[in-house]
Structure 1
């Protein structure tokens, strides 16, 4: 099938905005190198539809994703509409569980970046040893590796292990980050990626300095003052302007 990047899509204004935001997110991740060929996923709930989601077309690189070629699917991964691209159902298995079970999971990303996978593959997981990782101390769930996440029966354990957190580190695998908005998810992933990058670099230099609990408490207290309903919006809009200077086709 020849690559086609633009389609005619009949949808509400709210869905079209969601499509543009998700397409932008894919392009930003691709620009920053946080993608894995045609694999991994970012999914977003369609506004006003409890059981409809947008996902990348299976077979396209993230830098090829556009607003119109995103695939609309239901909660079981079945396509809605006549988009010709297939969906990697295996990859959506874990996303569907979180979307269905967690009311705040409107936007979800799962990646295989080397640094996040490295941290997921260490016994201690993410350590409170740098500015970014201290934000996440006590706010991450961990799930033991069970192989490729294609079996629906694993879903109950995934939900149990994430608890009420927004991040689940799949041991020996990679992170899952979710947010109430795509902007919130993006900024949380950005900080997690940085935390893992710094941890990996620190480990190559020697024993890390672990931040004391009382300092972490202060750090998180001050963090919480910055958490608003617009968390991540300024960052996301700034990166959208950046990718517009490279290629504006994501808007189509």
Structure 2
């Protein structure tokens, strides 16, 4: 019998959608994809009122982002803002938070990063406030590996460019981080990858806190995490599409 690790790799090589594909969905504009991502992550717990931003770098260097004034569960495609690489608004009457600088610095520092997600989710926010790294107790929490930096030099809000640059430096080449007394940060090559990471992080943090409240348990060993983790360059096969369809069923006007 194949080992779990080999089975996972074989499965994902066979079924993982290639970059840019959106099987099982109608044709979506880039702005519609960002609006759907906002709705999808809101449902995953990235839902602190009007806090947080998602930025998505486009092939021409411009950046798409959600507006400051709207909650993530009400954003539609037409609300998505186009920015130049310096953060200047090109096509919208909406505004962006001054904290957008953190995203711009990350895009500039990390050519591999086309998507940056920041918010103050409930469960990862708990571990950020504890300044601890949550253990992994189940398969869904292990999808993206165990390494999780904890950035604990909170110097103020992220409209301060010096503060946000220290966060960029602290992140290094990591895929995500907990921001002490603040929230969570996830980066990715594309929306599919970033979605899996954001959903996995919140699931991992929730399960770890529930296990702690229940009295604790033995977390998964690193070798087990390595076996059951996903090669998440393409995310989880069909997950992005399934969650997008759920949001389209809830509110088809997200595409408007």
Relative to the length of structure 1, the TM-score reads 0.82
Distance 2:157 2:232 in 1: 35
Structure 2 regions of 5+ residues with no counterpart? 1-27
Equivalences for 1:26-41 in 2 at 5 Å? 26-41=38-53
SS of aligned partner of 1:68: helix
Aligned residue number for residue 112 of structure 2: 104
Matched with 2:216 is 207
Which residue is equivalent to 2:252? 248
Match of 2:14 in 1: none
- Stretches of structure 1 lacking an aligned partner (at least 5 in a row): 1-15
The residue aligned with 2:121 is 113
Q: Deviations over 1:146-205 (max 9, x none)?
A: 221121112432222112111021112111011101011001111111000111111112
| TM-fit CA distance, 1:121 | 1.4
Question: Structure 1's 57 and 160: CA in aligned 2 closer, same or farther, altered over 3 A?
Answer: closer
Q: Is the 8 A contact 2:44 2:199 kept in 1?
A: no
Give the ranges of 4+ consecutive aligned residues of structure 1 lying more than 6 Å apart after TM superposition: none
Aligned to 1:7: none
1:143 aligns with 2:135: no
**What RMSD over aligned residues (CA atoms) do the two structures have, in Å?**
2.0
Which residue in 1 is equivalent to 2:83?
73
How many residue pairs end up in the alignment?
228
Residue of structure 1 equivalent to 2:60:
49
Mapped contact 1:130–1:199 kept (Cα < 8 A): no
Structure 1 contact 184–233 (Cα < 8 Å) conserved: no
| Structure 1 range deviating more: 126-135 or 178-187 | 126-135
Greater RCO (Cα-Cα under 8 Å, separation 6 or more)? 2
Contact residue 54 and residue 117 of structure 2 kept, 8 A: yes
The alignment status of 1:236 with 2:240, answered yes or no, reads yes
**TM-score, normalised by the number of residues in structure 2:** 0.81
